[in-house]
Structures are given as structure tokens and as C-alpha cells.
């Protein structure tokens, strides 16, 4: 690597004293240039677009938007900046979540060696994956104790690791495969663990078989590293309360909520197998109207059911709709992940801070972007964005940064869909759903009739 050209670094940390300390520790290193600072994930996304740094040092836990969500959005936006997560958490689950979110490095805030951060910056800039040595050794030690785990499954596909990191990838994959029994400790008499289904920044989902019912379910746990957060536990409990009111063939329904013996809260949900709409779009680019309309109608029916119970989803997007087959082999769309959902009856218990945006920028309503009061009509706008992308092969708005995209949602009009792709009738539906004024949008019940 040519050190004559400094590595440009964006420093993202909400604690000013820690930012100052990191800057001082790197100030004498000629190969590193701090080009900017940010105090939360949302600000970081905007500054990455403006400054185009080589490396982003990102705190994990921050207000407005955490480091994992910011890393995922940067990856979706195609940023080439290498992300290093800086955190006091050293649990395997958190490290794996960071890597799956797009991070290339993970450094503990408890720095015992001043050169660790410098080594991490140089390593990720040269294309390597870099883990704090203590964390890596702990994960490798755990991996040797695991049995009957398919280490060849492609974690590297999810994290885009380079082939020369094969040994590290396999070790991390082994830890990931056998992670579920740690959550299910004390529940093994009730559930048979089958495999990991997915992992996000806040939760992990596994496939299990209920021993007495002999039926397969999905079981969702709050990540162990976050289970000590009172507000996140309350949000997880609220998700259980909200989804317990829903029972619909086009929704991934919740069947039980409980606390494992080790204190971990969990949700027992329908197991639905199949690609998400996001997977279909990645593979095919777009979907013809004739094939898409039945799917749209089912999503509208799911939203109408939720809205009739006073429930807003608040995160309607292609990756939150899974396409599966029912008992007759017919295609069925299922709306999932009510983790950001809100119920009118629980408004006075709202866990979203004032001025905090909740949702995914490509599909957020104008009122979400402004952090205004929301109702069911916000879901209609997001659903309109989803339908537009399915038909046109692109979202209605995509700016150079998350903030640019949100600004477009508030102020701009989407391009007219190609008439060869979109009928006049569907175009009118899209036009209504994407109105800036919520009062001009169709209701979910009207959408069911029109679709």
C-alpha cells in the first residue's frame, strides 16, 4: 500500500471526548487524514456522500441512527468507504451483525494498544477484514467447540468477504451456525433447533420445531448484547403486543411471546419460506404488471387488516414482504417485521424519540422524513414506493445520500412510469399513493378494491 497518499477517515462518534481522544491518537500518523466528524449515523451518511472518505470509523450505539443501520444504508447506496465499527460490545452476535451489515473491521473501545486502530485502518483500506485480536481469538476458540455445523455456507456472500479470508470466514460461520442453542438454552425441551434464518442489527431469527405440536416455527430473539437495554426490551414487548392482534394469511403472524430462562425475550412466529420481493428485484430487475398485481392486492389486504386494528407498520419495503406457497401451491405474499409498528392504543408509550426518523429512506413517507406525526396513510406512501419499484425496476426517489433521498420524498415528484410497463389504471393508483399530502392518498381498503 502506498502510504504517500494519506488514508482519508471520517470519524463518527456521539461522545465528543472520545472523538477528541481518537483524533489525538491518530494526529501524529502522517498516513492518516481525518477529513470530517459526525455525531450520529444519519449525519454520517450525508458526510460520506459529501467527503467520500476511504474509511469510516463508526460508533455502534448512537442517537437518531445507530452504526449498524448506517452501515447497511451506506452499502445499499453503493458507498465504497470501508467501515470500522468501534464498540464496547465484544459479544460474537454483535460482531457478526456488524460484518453482515457491511463493516470491514471491528475494534473494541477498550484499546489496550494504541496501534490497534491504526492497524485496522490500514488493513481495511488494503482490502482485508480486521477484527480486534481479543475478539477474533475468542470467536476462533468458540468455533473449535462446535459440531455438526455446515461451515461451507456462504457468510462471505452476505458480508462480501474476500476469498483470501477463507479461514476466518469459516470460523465466523461456525460461530454463527451454532449461535442459536445459546439463545434456546432452557427451551430445548419445547423446541428443536433447526437452523439460523437471519440476523439484523437488533434481533436474530431461527427456525425451530415445536416438539409437542410437531410444527415448524420461526423464533425471534432480541440480540443478547441489546437485551440489557430497557427501552429496546420495551420495544420488543410492544412488537409482541401489537402483532398478537393480527391474524391474517398475508401477515407473518405471532403465536407466542415469552422470556427464556436466561432472561432473553422471544417471539414465536409463522415460518414462511421463500424469497423476499427484494430478492426477486435483485435477480430480475422488475416484475411485469400481470404478475405483480395479485401480489400487490395481497399486500394491500395485509395492510388493511393491520390498519383496521389501528396498527401502522411504518417500514413497508420489498425486503419486508416474503413470497411463499400455500398448501395448494399458490403464491402468497406475507408482510413481516412489525419491529417499527405502532398501535394507536399505545401512543402514550411511544418509544421513538421526538425528531427521530424510523424507517428506510428509499420508502419513507414525507411525514416520516420530517419526523411528523404518522398515521396509516404513511404506510400507503411506502407501499406506493414498493409498487413503483417492482413495476419500474427502480425506486421513485434515490438521492446521493439518505438525506438527499428524504429531501426528494418531501419536495420532488417521481418520474412517470413507462406506459409499456404500467397501465393507466395502475399509474393512477401509484399517483394517488405517492401524494405528498396524506389526505389525498387512497386508503388500504380502497386499494384492496382497486387492485
Is 315 noted as a catalytic residue in this protein?
yes
User: For residue 409, what are the β-bridge partners?
Assistant: none
From the list 156, 315, 337, 379, the catalytic residue is 315
| Dihedral sign computed on CA atoms, order 334, 336, 342, 345 | positive
The contacts of residue 27 (CB under 8 Å, 6+ apart) are: none
- Contact criterion met (CB below 8 Å) for 384 and 433: yes
- Strand, coil or helix: 278: helix
DSSP 8-state symbol, 131: E
Rounded distance between C-alpha atoms, residue 383 and residue 446, angstroms: 13
Break the chain down into helix, strand, coil percent, rounded to 5.
45, 20, 40
Cell numbers representing residue 214 in the block? 410437531
- Contact criterion met (CB below 8 Å) for 341 and 243: yes
Rounded distance between C-alpha atoms, residue 410 and residue 361, angstroms: 11
Rounded distance between C-alpha atoms, residue 60 and residue 63, angstroms: 10
Q: What angle do CA 102, 180, 157 make, to 5 degrees?
A: 30
Q: Which residues of 43-59 are buried (b: 16+ CB within 10 A; e: fewer)?
A: bbbbbbbeeebbbbbbb
Long-range contacts of 176-180 (CB under 8 A, 24+ apart): 176/92, 176/96, 177/146, 177/149, 177/150, 177/151, 177/153, 178/146, 178/149, 179/92, 179/93, 179/96, 179/204, 180/204, 180/206
User: For residue 198, what are the β-bridge partners?
Assistant: 205
- Contact criterion met (CB below 8 Å) for 92 and 66: no
How far is CA 81 from each of CA 51, 126, 305, rounded to the nearest angstrom? 10, 12, 42
Please state, as a whole number, how many other Cβ atoms lie within 10 Å of the Cβ of residue 84. Answer: 24
Which residues form the catalytic set? 315
Amino acid at each position: 500500500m502506498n502510504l504517500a497518499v494519506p488514508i482519508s477517515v471520517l470519524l463518527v462518534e456521539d461522545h465528543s471526548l472520545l472523538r477528541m481522544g481518537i483524533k489525538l491518537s491518530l494526529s501524529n500518523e502522517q498516513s492518516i487524514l481525518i477529513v470530517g466528524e459526525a455525531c450520529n449515523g444519519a449525519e454520517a451518511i450525508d458526510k460520506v456522500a459529501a467527503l467520500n472518505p476511504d474509511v469510516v470509523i463508526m460508533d455502534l450505539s448512537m442517537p437518531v441512527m445507530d452504526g449498524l443501520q448506517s452501515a447497511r444504508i451506506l452499502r445499499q447506496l453503493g458507498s465504497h468507504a470501508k467501515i470500522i465499527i468501534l464498540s464496547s460490545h465484544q459479544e460474537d452476535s454483535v460482531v457478526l451483525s456488524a460484518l453482515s451489515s457491511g463493516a470491514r473491521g471491528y475494534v473494541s473501545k477498550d484499546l489496550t494498544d494504541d496501534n490497534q486502530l491504526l492497524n485496522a485502518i490500514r488493513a481495511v483500506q488494503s482490502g482485508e477484514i480486521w477484527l480486534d485480536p481479543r475478539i477474533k481469538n475468542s470467536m476462533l476458540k468458540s468455533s473449535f467447540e462446535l459440531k455438526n455445523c455446515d461451515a461451507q455456507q456462504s457468510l462471505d456472500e452476505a458480508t462480501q468477504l474476500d476469498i483470501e479470508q477463507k479461514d476466518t470466514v469459516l470460523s465466523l460461520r461456525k460461530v454463527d451456525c451454532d449461535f442459536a442453542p445459546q439463545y434456546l438454552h432452557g427451551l430445548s425441551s419445547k423446541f428443536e433447533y433447526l437452523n439460523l434464518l437471519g440476523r439484523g442489527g437488533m434481533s436474530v431469527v431461527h427456525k425451530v420445531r415445536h416438539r409437542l405440536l410437531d410444527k415448524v416455527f420461526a423464533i425471534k430473539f432480541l440480540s443478547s448484547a441489546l437485551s440489557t437495554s430497557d427501552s429496546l426490551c420495551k420495544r420488543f414487548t410492544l412488537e409482541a403486543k401489537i402483532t398478537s392482534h393480527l391474524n391474517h394469511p398475508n401477515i407473518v403472524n405471532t403465536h407466542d411471546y415469552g422470556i427464556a430462562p436466561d432472561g432473553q425475550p422471544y417471539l414465536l412466529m409463522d415460518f414462511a419460506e421463500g424469497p423476499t420481493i427484494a430478492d426477486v428485484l435483485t435477480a430480475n430487475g422488475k416484475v411485469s404488471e400481470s404478475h405483480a398485481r395479485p401480489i400487490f392486492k395481497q399486500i394491500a389486504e395485509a395492510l388493511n387488516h393491520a390498519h383496521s386494528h389501528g396498527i401502522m407498520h411504518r417500514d413497508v419495503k420489498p425486503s419486508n414482504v416474503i413470497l411463499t406457497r400455500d398448501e395448494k401451491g399458490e403464491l402468497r405474499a406475507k408482510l413481516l417485521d412489525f419491529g417499527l409498528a405502532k398501535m394507536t392504543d399505545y401512543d402514550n408509550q411511544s418509544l421513538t424519540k421526538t425528531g427521530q426518523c424510523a424507517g428506510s429512506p428509499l420508502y419513507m413517507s414525507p411525514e416520516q422524513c420530517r419526523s411528523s406525526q404518522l398515521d396509516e396513510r404513511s404506510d400507503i406512501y411506502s407501499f406506493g414506493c414498493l409498487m413503483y419499484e417492482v413495476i419500474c425496476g427502480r425506486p421513485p426517489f434515490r438521492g446521493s445520500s439518505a438525506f438527499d433521498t428524504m429531501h426528494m420524498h418531501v419536495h420532488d415528484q417521481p418520474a412517470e412510469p413507462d406506459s409499456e410497463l404500467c397501465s393507466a389504471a395502475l399509474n393512477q393508483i401509484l399517483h394517488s399513493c405517492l401524494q405528498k399530502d396524506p389526505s389525498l392518498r387512497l386508503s388500504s381498503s380502497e386499494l384492496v378494491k382497486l387492485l
